[in-house]
Amino acid sequence: MAKKAKEKVIEDPSTEDKIKAAARTVFMKKGYGATRTRDIAEEAGINLALLNYYFRSKEKLFELVMMEKFQKFFGVIFPVINDASTSLEKKIEILVNNYIDMLTENPDLPIFVLSEIRNHPERFVSNVQLKKLLTESAFVKQLHEKRPDLPPLQMITTLLGSTVFPFLMRPLLFSAKSMDQKSFEVFIEQRRKLVSKWIISLLKVK
């Protein structure tokens, strides 16, 4: 009796997209360590064998999701800081606006990214050219000209911390009933104007 021919899986781009979307949801909710491939398959509404056909491991899926998240989280920096034609003060305004826009659309992104940076810093180092950012960018060169006594990392950390930290605090503020979504949006719009002024004023303080 002839052996039954092995059934061939017909690849479907929509299935791959569905798995990626499910992975984003589950990884954002649980993080890498607590996520099982079975969780992703269930979220995608497919069986585990089909998920394994498209993506051989949880790590491969996670690296794909993390790359997207890193690019979103840090992608608003690189085009701006490497633009030599824009003044330092204007760069600061643009960075603050871009970050607040991006974080308003993705409020849970900072917790996910920073948690994974803490747990797996080697992934962050390999995907984000931090050393190049701190030594070769137009932003750093302009900062050296304006304030040679001010370490670039201090300025970048202050700028990012001032824009990102409120979104890290958002779940706590909501849970404590200190703010609701509407009041948080008002608060963030106030910071949009204030943070740029605060950071630019630091350039003038000796």
Superfamily of domain 13-64: Homeodomain-like (1.10.10.60)
Q: For residue 37, what pLDDT is reported?
A: 92
What pLDDT shows up at residue 13?
Answer: 59
- What residue segments make up the domains of the chain, in order of their start? 13-64, 75-202
| Amino acid in the structure at residue 162 | S
Reported as a single tens digit per residue, the pLDDT across 99-130 is 999 999 888 888 877 877 777 777 666 656 66
How many angstroms separate the CA atoms of 86 and 137, rounded? Answer: 12
- Structure pTM? 0.74
For residue 59, the model assigns a pLDDT of 85
Low-confidence ranges of the chain (pLDDT < 50): 1-10
CATH classification (class only), 75-202: mainly alpha
pLDDT, tens digit, for every residue of 164-192? Answer: 999 999 988 999 888 999 999 999 999 99
